[in-house]
Amino acid sequence: MTLKVPFLSDAQLESAAQELLRRYAKWKGEPPRPPIPVDAIAEGVLGLTLEMNDLRKKLGKSDVLGATWLDDALVVIDSSLEGNEGRYSFTLGHELGHWQLHRPLREMDKVTFPLFSREPGEKAGPAIVCRDGQRDPAEIQADKFSAFLLMPASDVRAAVKLVTGEPLAIDNFAARKKAGERIAELRDFAAEVSAKGGFTNVSNQAMQIRLEALKLVVDGAQGRLF
């Protein structure tokens, strides 16, 4: 089921993520640095309970990554992500996005959430269940929130400064991307930025997307104009 949520711009999503990072800084007494401690943000700042469990089996859906039970303030990450730090953290950041962006809509009676049982046979409660590959607006907002949370712009820019000092120019970038090519230069650049910046809980793929969004990767043909 698709949640009907109001439009939020990227700037609004980024500022919601930054607000949460500021709350962490206040709670902890120091600003968060990569790897962004997303577990501590969930438990310490937001008071959520975190659990890893076989959601796929419990919910009978083969592609579930995470779920949040709103009344229980419970976030469950599917056990298939155990040991995969990048996907685990991104999924948790995504659930925090739902918590911060979409849970308040319920209190305003704007959105009705579907009901799910935590255990087969148990009473069902309002929950957000997130499956791989969902692309409706609420899911896209939660994904973007997670990227903004785990890879703050200032930290990514600082790491790029340490690696090359400037955006990476890739020849025929747009055309190669359009053709679906896996671009080795971009993968290597993302790996270096992650290593230098301490982004140990971010997947290479997620960093590639973030670098591109921040225009820290540019088309080589374009780059040569300057």
Stretch that binds Zn ion, among 10-18, 110-118, 129-137, 154-162 (CB under 5 A): 129-137
Question: Rounded to an integer, what distance in angstroms lies between the CA atom of residue 196 and that of residue 155?
Answer: 10
The answer to the question of residue 64 lying near Zn ion (CB under 5 A) is: no
Candidate residues 17, 64, 96, 130; the one interacting with Zn ion per rule CB under 5 A: 130
**Distance in Å, CB of 58 to Zn ion, minimum:** 17
**Distance in Å, CB of 53 to Zn ion, minimum:** 16
**Distance in Å, CB of 127 to Zn ion, minimum:** 11
Question: Rounded to an integer, what distance in angstroms lies between the CA atom of residue 197 and that of residue 97?
Answer: 23
Question: Which residue, 32 or 66, is less far from Zn ion as judged by CB?
Answer: 66
Cα dist. 21→76, 149, 150 in Å? 21, 7, 10
DSSP letters spanning 163-201: HTSSPEEETTHHHHHHTT---HHHHHHHHHHHHHHT-TT
**Distance in Å, CB of 94 to Zn ion, minimum:** 5
Stretch that binds Zn ion, among 8-16, 114-122, 132-140, 152-160 (CB under 5 A): 132-140
What is the separation of C-alpha 132 from the centre of its chain, rounded to a whole number of angstroms? 13
Question: Which residue, 142 or 211, is less far from Zn ion as judged by CB?
Answer: 142
Cα dist. 210→83, 152, 202 in Å? 23, 9, 10
Query: Where along the sequence are the contacts to Zn ion (CB under 5 A)?
Result: 130, 139, 142
